[in-house]
Chain A
């Protein structure tokens, strides 16, 4: 994870840590409509935000998760259900956050030589010190 952070400086990213906070409390998923950046606003037009909030609200209710909970208190299967809500949220920004966390996780995980045998990957042919 250290090497991944060396590349992407997640420690110093207010956007990333802010999103992590929003992610942690399940209440935010229902009530908070994610803020779009100026750049996104100029691309995304004519969006009915109320309809999007209603859609996320509906899928949250159907999931049976409790609104007052935090991610840390969820069981493993509840966590999976909750992450699934993010992956199929009505909001592109939420799906984006899911995609980013997922990418960072996989970059860290699948860069570990320890995991390569489990997926039949032999890695580099040459052996040089890693650089990061």
Chain B
């Protein structure tokens, strides 16, 4: 049994956990422990093999909603999502945070660079965001780095008067191998694995990986429940991982402040397993996951698609009117084969054109519903994700599908393929031969397991709200009615942050970390 005593324990080493651990350690002598369920892989491990690198994902990439309909991708390794994402960087959207302040009574989170939230010098989201951007080297890629897939997407958009613009990306010295999603073998992607993690380690943060947290330790006293640490299990170190700082076996960690940054699936599940008081049935409720619908197109020429920067163009043309973005990305063969409908010779005849394919997708900012939730069920190993698309969201996805087919043909595709087994055309599956067939997408029913919707941005399962009836935590991320427990990750967002969430999550973590330091007397006796 390993025993660790520290001031701050952070559970989860993704976008949020690594950033908040590094931020607290940067300016204080507080002892900080960072635990991660997955292994500690680095550039030397990432071998650009699509199958091998599925090990970086939660449940090896097989995590999905309870009906099996929506795969829910997430990184389960040091760096979390920032290790396996496509480096797409969106600043936190001020209008979204202002709405949260209005609807959930949130305090602080100023966007004014001179604001001193909580009376702490220069504590505001704008400063936190700028620090995160600088650390992560967020910038627009140059035109030289835009590959054919992104070019045809931008061309198709422009031909139809749909605005398209470049993503900002967190990379430096990218060589364009096209394997962002499999872990960057060159340390060119500036995920937390190579930014805040080295900072944290340099400042004395202790990293324990391969560490599953079974339960929070909760003591009940006169002033109410207090979280005093965790109990968990350290698994034997997997081959290829960097060495661990704790021996395999049971582990017990004691801390004055426990910060949960395990992501929007594991964070609520941990609170539920630990029986954290939940008088208003808020844990896990109102999960959003940015349902995404991909499209592929076949061209009559070879395209540079899987090489080069995977995503460099997107469109927010329909964001204001329909709440979705079009994002240009491309899959390696396994994911591509799963996305292309059908099986057997018919499927292979489409896959044969892989070298001539282009792809992009629609990412929907979904409507929150309390019916959609994460639950830790007794006797079930993994958290159960219950999610159904709402009717208005289906309607918006139908519209997105029509537009995507039109854009694909405007870009020059000869065939467009939706990831659907619904027989929309007189051909089998959703395969289109001309732009005039685009309107058939309005017939999509989105029956589960018939049309493939994917997800990688789970959020809002432990919402911040000053009202305990509508959220689990206050604006500081402190869980209502419980001492010593803070939530700091995408689950703390009250609803969707409105875009790919990495930078928004890191900004929140940077902000909360600086706030904890500024208010240290609130948490620590020394």
Verify B49–A124 contact, CB threshold 8 A: yes
Cβ of B119 under 8 Å from chain A: no
Cβ of A12 under 8 Å from chain B: no
Verify A121–B343 contact, CB threshold 8 A: no
Q: Which residues of B contact A88 (CB under 8 A)?
A: 421, 423, 450
The 5 closest A-B pairs by CB, nearest first: A120-B355, A124-B48, A111-B51, A95-B449, A96-B68
- Given A83-B343, A96-B67, A99-B68, check contact A107 B51 (CB 8 Å): yes
Verify A44–B67 contact, CB threshold 8 A: yes
- Given A88-B423, A118-B352, check contact A95 B448 (CB 8 Å): yes
Q: Which residues of A contact B115 (CB under 8 A)?
A: none
Interface residues of B (CB under 8 A from A): 45, 47-52, 54-55, 60, 62, 66-69, 177, 179, 185, 239-240, 302, 306-307, 332-334, 336-338, 343-344, 351-352, 354-356, 371, 377, 380, 384, 386-388, 421, 423, 428, 447-450, 452
Whole-angstrom distance between the Cβ of A100 and the nearest chain B Cβ: 7
Verify A102–B338 contact, CB threshold 8 A: yes
Which residues 55-114 of A have a CB within 8 angstroms of B? 80, 83-84, 87-88, 92-93, 95-96, 98-100, 102-103, 105-107, 109-111
Q: Which residues of A contact B352 (CB under 8 A)?
A: 118-119
Query: Which of B50, B55, B338, B344 is within 8 Å of A131, CB to CB?
Result: B55
Verify B47–A130 contact, CB threshold 8 A: yes
Provide 19 A-B residue pairs closer than 8 Å at the C-beta atoms, listed in order of the A residue.
Answer: A7-B60, A39-B384, A40-B67, A43-B387, A80-B343, A87-B421, A92-B448, A96-B449, A99-B452, A102-B338, A110-B50, A110-B333, A111-B49, A120-B354, A120-B355, A123-B49, A124-B179, A126-B47, A131-B47
Q: Which residues of B contact A105 (CB under 8 A)?
A: 343
Whole-angstrom distance between the Cβ of A122 and the nearest chain B Cβ: 8
Query: Which of A44, A128, A132 is within 8 Å of B51, CB to CB?
Result: A132
Verify A119–B333 contact, CB threshold 8 A: yes
Per the CB 8 Å criterion, the residue count for chain A at the interface is 47
Cβ of A125 under 8 Å from chain B: yes
Please measure, in the bound complex, the distance between the C-alpha atom of A4 and the C-alpha atom of B49, giving whole angstroms. 13
Verify A132–B306 contact, CB threshold 8 A: no
Q: Which residues of B contact A98 (CB under 8 A)?
A: 449
Verify A100–B66 contact, CB threshold 8 A: no
- Given A92-B67, A95-B448, A116-B333, check contact A102 B343 (CB 8 Å): yes
Query: Which of A106, A115, A132 is within 8 Å of B52, CB to CB?
Result: A132
Verify A120–B302 contact, CB threshold 8 A: yes
Whole-angstrom distance between the Cβ of B269 and the nearest chain A Cβ: 13
Measured CB to CB, the nearest residue on chain B to A110 is B333
Verify A103–B338 contact, CB threshold 8 A: yes
Interface core residue of A40, A92, A119 (most chain B CB under 10 Å): A119
Verify B69–A4 contact, CB threshold 8 A: no
Please measure, in the bound complex, the distance between the C-alpha atom of A115 and the C-alpha atom of B306, giving whole angstroms. 16
Measured CB to CB, the nearest residue on chain B to A44 is B67
Q: Which residues of A contact B55 (CB under 8 A)?
A: 7, 131-132
Verify B388–A131 contact, CB threshold 8 A: no
Verify B449–A106 contact, CB threshold 8 A: no
Verify B54–A7 contact, CB threshold 8 A: yes
Q: Which residues of A contact B51 (CB under 8 A)?
A: 3-4, 7, 107, 111, 130, 132
Verify A111–B351 contact, CB threshold 8 A: no
Measured CB to CB, the nearest residue on chain B to A37 is B66
Please measure, in the bound complex, the distance between the C-alpha atom of A123 and the C-alpha atom of B352, giving whole angstroms. 15
Please measure, in the bound complex, the distance between the C-alpha atom of A39 and the C-alpha atom of B69, giving whole angstroms. 13
Verify B421–A95 contact, CB threshold 8 A: yes
Verify A106–B334 contact, CB threshold 8 A: yes
Please measure, in the bound complex, the distance between the C-alpha atom of A10 and the C-alpha atom of B384, giving whole angstroms. 20
Query: Which of A8, A115, A120, A131 is within 8 Å of B240, CB to CB?
Result: A131
